[in-house]
């Protein structure tokens, strides 16, 4: 092979080539929820028994969490969509920076480690660069449960002081309904002495999934999914078999894919209550929504502009803001999208503009004037959800687009191009 050919091959970044204007049909299958699976994996640290998780998606984030748990002495085995975790030989309490740096969910381990071993050392987490996501609420909650915590040089050191062996049950009031803080405090409190409560708790379905599994392991939790969660501490937890809920963000992304390509599609399995705000906006912009068994059929009609504002659950999810904006670029009329969760989540705007979208941004608000069609272009996804948005825009664009940012995509969507291709898309991974 000539040297020039070798060099050119090496310089080609992994990307997707997406041929636009291919109608979709049939069915899109939703995998298990990434954000739920990650925290359920961390919960395996709370017991010596084996935890068997079913419906676990194959994602780089899941692989990263498995590697972190293995570093701490957890036995991790995979069999297709099943994950077997056993933390009977838990030893390391300091997580390696190089693993934690790329995975924000690694910080979930601090609660279980404190509850089970009485100490933990965890570097401050990384993950998608979509703005400040401080762990102040996590730390404040753990301190309320009796932990001593020191943050220095990017390392969080936590321990149970003195001769105490367990955290102490208490009432925690969160300043904001943080999902991560709610999950961290919940896992720490299940093995604490006495009763605890979390007020102003996050209400996301992932919280409900975690509480449901912990209760299957012998915990005594009530109120998950509401603003106040109560926890009665128990002495130990057991293993269990548990199936991860369907990924509501992947389901929402696929529903928007159907809408942007004006395709009649079934998306399954879906828990409709997890997507009420999204389904309502899809109805408002001109889609018929029908429940079919465990799935939802979407029949797009004429799409018109609607306004959205991202909010904590049960509001419109920030994770679907970018995909929905892609849809609005092709709608009739004007739409206004306001991002209220993260201050740095408009990276996709410039990329959509390269494809011919008409978008004006002021602060965290985007005003979108729908255009008759988008044009194919080379685009880059700067984070997980903006990469998904680029793929959706490319599906409807005139021509073949090159989409980079697959390192983000593979963190949160299992075989996305394969699933879309099975429904009629023409996407090639290069």
pLDDT given at position 132: 45
Domains 3-31+246-429 and 34-243 agree in fold: yes
- Closest by CA position to 353, among listed 369, 337, 342: 369
Fold of 3-31+246-429: UDP-n-acetylglucosamine1-carboxyvinyl-transferase; Chain (3.65.10)
Q: What pLDDT is stored for residue 122 in this prediction?
A: 85
Which uninterrupted H or E stretch holds 406? helix 406-412
The pLDDT value recorded for residue 266 is 98
Question: Strands, E, within 253-408: which ranges?
Answer: 265-268, 287-292, 295-300, 308-309, 334-338, 358-362, 365-369, 378-380, 400-404
In degrees, rounded to 5, the angle at the alpha carbon of residue 189 between the alpha carbons of residues 59 and 45 is 40
In this prediction, residue 126 carries a pLDDT of 54
Q: What is the Cα gyration radius of the chain? A: 22
Measured distance CA(34)–CA(212) in Å, rounded: 16
Instruction: For the beta carbon of residue 375, count every other beta carbon within 10 angstroms.
Output: 14
* DSSP-assigned beta bridge partners for residue 79: 82
* CATH superfamily ID and name for 34-243: Enolpyruvate transferase domain (3.65.10.10)
**128 has catalytic annotation:** yes
Q: How high is the pLDDT of residue 93?
A: 67
Q: What is the pLDDT of residue 362?
A: 92
d(CA 382, CA 284): 29
Q: Catalytic one among 109, 128, 285, 287?
A: 128
Which of the residues in the chain have pLDDT under 50? 3-9, 127-132
Q: Which residue ranges make up each domain of the chain?
A: 3-31+246-429, 34-243
Spatial contact of 415 and 40, defined as CB atoms under 8 Å apart? no
**Torsion angle of alpha carbons 260, 409, 246, 325, nearest 10°?**
-30
What pLDDT was estimated at residue 124? Answer: 79
Three-state SS for 262? Answer: coil
């Amino acid at each position: 092979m000539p040297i020039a050919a070798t060099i050119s091959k090496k310089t080609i970044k992994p990307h997707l080539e997406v041929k636009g204007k291919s109608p979709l049909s049939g069915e899109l299958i939703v995998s298990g929820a990434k954000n739920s699976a990650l925290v359920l994996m961390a919960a395996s640290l709370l017991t010596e028994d084996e935890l068997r998780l079913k419906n676990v998606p194959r994602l780089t984030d899941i692989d990263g969490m498995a590697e972190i748990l293995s570093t701490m002495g957890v036995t991790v085995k995979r069999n297709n969509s099943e994950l077997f975790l056993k933390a009977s030989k838990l030893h390391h309490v300091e997580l390696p920076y190089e693993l934690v740096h790329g995975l924000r969910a690694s910080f979930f381990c601090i609660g279980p480690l404190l509850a089970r071993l009485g100490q933990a050392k965890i570097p401050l987490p990384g993950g998608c660069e979509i703005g400040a996501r401080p762990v102040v609420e996590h730390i404040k909650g753990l301190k309320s449960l009796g932990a001593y915590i020191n943050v220095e040089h990017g390392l969080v050191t936590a321990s149970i002081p003195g001769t105490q062996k367990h955290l102490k049950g208490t009432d925690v009031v969160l300043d904001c309904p943080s999902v991560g803080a709610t999950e961290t405090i919940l896992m720490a409190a299940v093995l604490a002495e006495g009763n605890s409560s979390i007020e102003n708790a996050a209400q996301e379905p992932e919280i409900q999934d975690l509480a449901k599994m912990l209760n299957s392991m012998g915990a005594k939790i009530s109120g998950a999914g509401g603003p106040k969660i109560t926890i009665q501490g128990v002495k130990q937890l057991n293993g269990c078999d548990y199936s991860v809920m369907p990924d509501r963000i992947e389901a929402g992304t696929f529903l928007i894919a159907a809408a942007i390509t004006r395709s009649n599609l079934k998306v399954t399995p879906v828990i409709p209550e997890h997507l009420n705000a999204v389904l309502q906006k899809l109805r408002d912009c001109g889609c018929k929504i029908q429940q079919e068994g465990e799935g939802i059929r979407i029949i797009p009609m004429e799409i018109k502009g609607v306004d959205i504002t991202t909010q904590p659950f049960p509001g419109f999810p920030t994770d679907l803001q970018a995909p929905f904006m892609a849809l609005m670029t092709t709608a009739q009329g004007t739409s206004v999208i306001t991002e209220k969760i993260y201050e740095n989540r408009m990276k996709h705007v410039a990329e959509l503009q390269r494809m011919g979208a008409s978008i004006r941004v002021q602060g965290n608000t985007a005003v979108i004037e729908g255009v008759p069609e988008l044009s194919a272009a080379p685009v880059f996804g700067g984070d997980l959800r903006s990469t998904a948005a680029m793929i959706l825009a490319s599906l409807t664009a005139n021509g073949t687009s090159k989409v980079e940012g697959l390192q983000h995509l593979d963190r949160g969507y299992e075989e996305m191009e394969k699933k879309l291709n099975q429904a009629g898309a023409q996407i090639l991974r290069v």
